[in-house]
Amino acid sequence: MRIVAQRVKRATVSVESKMVGEIKTGLLLFVGVEEADTMEDVEWLAKKMVNMRVFNDENQQMNFSVKEVEGEILTVSQFTLHAATKKGNRPSFMRAAAPSKAEKLYEQLKLQLSALMGKNCPSGKFGANMQVELLNDGPVTIIIDSQNRE
């Protein structure tokens, strides 16, 4: 499972011109599920995202997690994070999980994040064409892949 996490001042996700998710200060997570992913990946990444220290303290050092700053998390599914681009000009998505598997793990990630945060974490709609707006803070953008934990 691959996540591109962006520290944001605000973010929204819309489907068919209707806003389906919105946060203020927090993390916007673009989530791609690959065929090799399991619930172990979901649990590891959920804990990692909630506890990753990417928010500034009074000395402008990244010492606080999203939970510690009482921020929010917005998740957006994005299978294109597993694009292979070495050959040709058209990306291949062979590593991305089949939609049925990907949706189950994505939904489990949302549940885990909400449980760890102690509140509902809004999200986009799996498989939909979405429009995402954000104000990146920093900018801080972290890429993390549960298949590369070392």
Return phi, psi of residue 9, to 5°. -85, -30
Q: Is 38 a catalytic residue?
A: no
Q: Which of 12, 25, 75, 80 is catalytic?
A: 80
What whole-number distance in Å separates Cα of residue 17 and Cα of residue 28?
A: 19
Which are the catalytic amino acids?
80
